[in-house]
Structure 1
Amino acid sequence: MSWIKRIGFLTAFIIPALAILGFYLGGWWNYLTICFVFVLIPLADSLIGEDPENMEDTDALIISEQFYYRFITYIWAIFQLAFLVWASAQVASTTMEVHEWVGFVLSFALVTGGIGITVGHELGHKKSALERFYSKLILMTVCYMHFYIEHNRGHHVHVATPKDPATSRKGEGFYRFWFRSVLGSYRSAWNIERASLKRKGEKVWSLKNEMIWFTILPVLLAVTLTLSASLWQGRLVWEVPVFFFTQAILAFSLLEIVNYIEHYGIVRKEISPGRYERVNPMHSWNSNHRLSNFFLFQLQRHSDHHANAIKRYQVLKHYEESPQLPSGYPAMILMAAFPPLWFKQMNPKLKDWEEKVYLKEC
């Protein structure tokens, strides 16, 4: 892998750096991160273009085991917790105008949700106990720990079928999808964990039920942050829990809008009642825009991720035959936030995909 790509994955740390800089500059500078993500990155994506490079399988075997790429994700996991503690301290000790607070929380959520959950997603797919621990740590900071269960044992099994709450349907706007996915994914995680415990002969309502821990731990984290800030400031710092849960909702909403983009309208063929064809690179929307892929650890090469879920981010491949998004995720997020614009742009592309699949079957 070229040195450019090795350095490129470090660009993710630009986002929190801008959030911190914006806070200390104050005022409208708190929107610096938002402008960077939703204005400068889409513009740069269009200017720099796409990345068609796929490494040879022999090279991929070597690079997938290089510690450097894992180390970046480990550092991020530790950083995200420290970043949350720093932000809580600023919220507790600083008086901000409404527009400053809104910009600060939005910028913070772009870090914890846009980059953080992406890293948590990457780590949660791995077999290493340390990587899985870091995944849960990240997800705890955004109150979405059930994602660890549902995504790996639910979404990846049922993606592009009616059984998957995280697969957006043709003609379904993001806001309707948000409620279905958020509530459905949490319920699905409980069902998966309940079934797993019953197979092992364990009681559902016991300390071995991860969903109980996953529900309680984020609340305990919020309580710990609030009590620490209150003892420090000598008053009940109500601003900290408001900040914590607001950024969490915004962060996992960012995850859900990415879910919406990645799977909009894609369906797998039902080969017999309740059984579907094997997941392949045709079953996820793909984006190969170079710059946004650096910031998102190649999450946008989503087609290969679903076809080969355990594959590490640095060796994911681009598949030309996969359905292709017209831009990287930052621009697509803005588009998805306005359903009429999304439908106008994406429904014709979805129709092309449907015709391509139909012709392939014929």
Structure 2
Amino acid sequence: MKVSKILIRKIGFLSAFILPVLLIAGYYQGGIGYFYPLIFAFVCIPLMDYYVGEDRYNVPQSLERILSTERYYRFITHSWAYLQVLLVMWACWAAAQNPSRPWYEWLGFTLSTGVVTGGIGITVAHELGHKNNRYDQWMAQLILMTVCYMHFFIEHNYGHHVHVATPQDPATARRGESFYRFWWRTVAGSFRSAWNIEKNRLNKERKAFWSIHNRMLWYVVLPLLYVGFVFVLVSASVNRLAWEVIPFFFAQSIVAFSLLEVVNYIEHYGLERRQLPNGRYERVRPIHSWNASHMISNFFLFQLQRHSDHHAYASRPYQILRHFDESPQLPAGYPSMILLALVPPLWFRIMDKKLDEWQSTYGAPPAAA
């Protein structure tokens, strides 16, 4: 039984590659095909989640070390990193093939590309960014370059994981805050936070702010160099200046990082850590992230929905993340919850009740003494 469940997950994690296949196939079909990744992500996966249900199985501790070092799991994430760089280049080329296509086809192709590069791509970047070797971290930044969100590498690791579930964290949504209000606050706040973190690092290392050592400067420049390179490449391919490549690239980037931020919104909505009498906050525990153990959506998201374990033990690789019964549980997987978050009245009606239950169990965080 244990072996079969592990084997099912090994195969299941490959399902993420279905989305780029749908993106490419849908482009060549045209029409409704431009929306294939959207339909699959937000209709098919929620339906499969509903019928298949949850998977609360945890890998036995005796097997954790073996699975943590198994190259198969790294191969999947490493493969995606290179795939995304090429996929965005292909999508830009595809966008330039028929610039006069109807607006709804542009909309479908842009949204679908962003769902692939953000929903899967940034999830992989998040996983690789937590590794302690430079190669994995380099690949995480490579993925983030293709969606203009490289500062996430700094802010997420050294900002969000430190301040999560506190008022200091721009990526923690407050109770009663709609996703649309949260989007503006987190996009701007995370960018500012990354600059401050990098500035403090440079000061400690006695390095100049305006220098090649400032990663944030590179994070601004590299996406521009990448899209410039793609623009030249595509223009040469179509024998004209393919100007549509530039707005398409930035549009799919906005879709991609907006998808990241709606996931951030879902993961920590309304949850707060207690502030202790000394002014510090209690340590992060599994109760400080919303959890979802729905099997199918966890396959596609590399178990990101077991977010409680990730925040409590950030170094744990995706293949051995655990379900905790005490963690606050979402009523559905991320794809369904994303749709719910886009309709604030429905979101508040459902999630504020669950938040009340959480607070009645763990108590509202008191003010500092």
TM exceeding 0.5: yes
SS in 2 for 1:222: helix
Match of 2:132 in 1: 127
Gaps of 5+ in 1: none
Match of 1:36 in 2: 40
Checking the alignment, whether the CA contact within 8 Å between 1:174 and 1:257 is kept in structure 2 is yes
Pair 1:359–1:23, CA change in 2 (3 A) = closer
Checking the alignment, whether the CA contact within 8 Å between 2:37 and 2:116 is kept in structure 1 is no
Equivalent position amino acid for 2:191 in 1: Y
Report the Cα offset of residue 57 of structure 1: 1.2
Distance across 1 between alignment mates of 2:284 and 2:319 = 21
Report the Cα offset of residue 359 of structure 1: 9.5
Pairing of 1:290-301 with structure 2 (within 5 A): 290-301=295-306
Pairing of 1:175-254 with structure 2 (within 5 A): 175-254=180-259
SS in 1 for 2:131: coil
SS in 1 for 2:283: coil
Distance across 2 between alignment mates of 1:356 and 1:294 = 30
Of the three residues 307, 313, 320, the one matched with 2:318 is: 313
Gaps of 5+ in 2: none
Distance across 1 between alignment mates of 2:218 and 2:183 = 24
Question: TM-score, normalization: structure 1?
Answer: 0.98
Distance across 1 between alignment mates of 2:110 and 2:53 = 31
Match of 1:267 in 2: 272
Match of 1:85 in 2: 89
Q: In terms of mean alpha carbon deviation, does 232-241 or 161-170 score higher?
A: 232-241
Provide, for residues 7-52 of structure 1, a one-character-per-residue CA deviation record: whole Å limited to 9, x for no partner.
0000000111111111111012211111111111111101100001
Match of 1:256 in 2: 261
Distance across 2 between alignment mates of 1:184 and 1:299 = 23
Distance across 2 between alignment mates of 1:21 and 1:84 = 15
- The 4+ residue runs of structure 1 with deviation greater than 6 A are none
Question: TM-score, normalization: structure 2?
Answer: 0.96
Distance across 2 between alignment mates of 1:347 and 1:77 = 37
Pairing of 1:323-334 with structure 2 (within 5 A): 323-334=328-339
Match of 1:57 in 2: 61
Provide, for residues 35-74 of structure 1, a one-character-per-residue CA deviation record: whole Å limited to 9, x for no partner.
1111111111011000010111121111011000000000
SS in 2 for 1:50: coil
Provide, for residues 229-265 of structure 1, a one-character-per-residue CA deviation record: whole Å limited to 9, x for no partner.
2233232211000110000001000000000000000
Alignment pair present for 1:157 and 2:166? no
Distance across 1 between alignment mates of 2:251 and 2:365 = 46
Checking the alignment, whether the CA contact within 8 Å between 1:28 and 1:99 is kept in structure 2 is no
Q: In terms of mean alpha carbon deviation, does 21-30 or 63-72 score higher?
A: 21-30
Q: In terms of mean alpha carbon deviation, does 56-65 or 163-172 score higher?
A: 56-65
SS in 1 for 2:90: helix
Alignment pair present for 1:348 and 2:353? yes
Match of 2:27 in 1: 23
Alignment pair present for 1:172 and 2:163? no
Distance across 1 between alignment mates of 2:365 and 2:212 = 50
Checking the alignment, whether the CA contact within 8 Å between 2:273 and 2:365 is kept in structure 1 is no
Pair 1:78–1:336, CA change in 2 (3 A) = same
Give the number of aligned pairs: 361
Alignment pair present for 1:118 and 2:134? no
Distance across 2 between alignment mates of 1:237 and 1:257 = 32
RMSD: 1.3
Report the Cα offset of residue 97 of structure 1: 1.8
Alignment pair present for 1:106 and 2:111? yes
Match of 1:276 in 2: 281
Of the three residues 8, 20, 36, the one matched with 2:12 is: 8
Distance across 2 between alignment mates of 1:137 and 1:203 = 24
Match of 2:363 in 1: 358
Equivalent position amino acid for 1:320 in 2: D
Equivalent position amino acid for 1:148 in 2: F
Equivalent position amino acid for 1:62 in 2: I
Checking the alignment, whether the CA contact within 8 Å between 2:118 and 2:147 is kept in structure 1 is yes
Distance across 1 between alignment mates of 2:363 and 2:244 = 54
Match of 1:76 in 2: 80
Report the Cα offset of residue 273 of structure 1: 4.9
Distance across 2 between alignment mates of 1:273 and 1:215 = 38
Distance across 2 between alignment mates of 1:271 and 1:74 = 41
Distance across 2 between alignment mates of 1:24 and 1:111 = 17
Checking the alignment, whether the CA contact within 8 Å between 1:304 and 1:318 is kept in structure 2 is yes
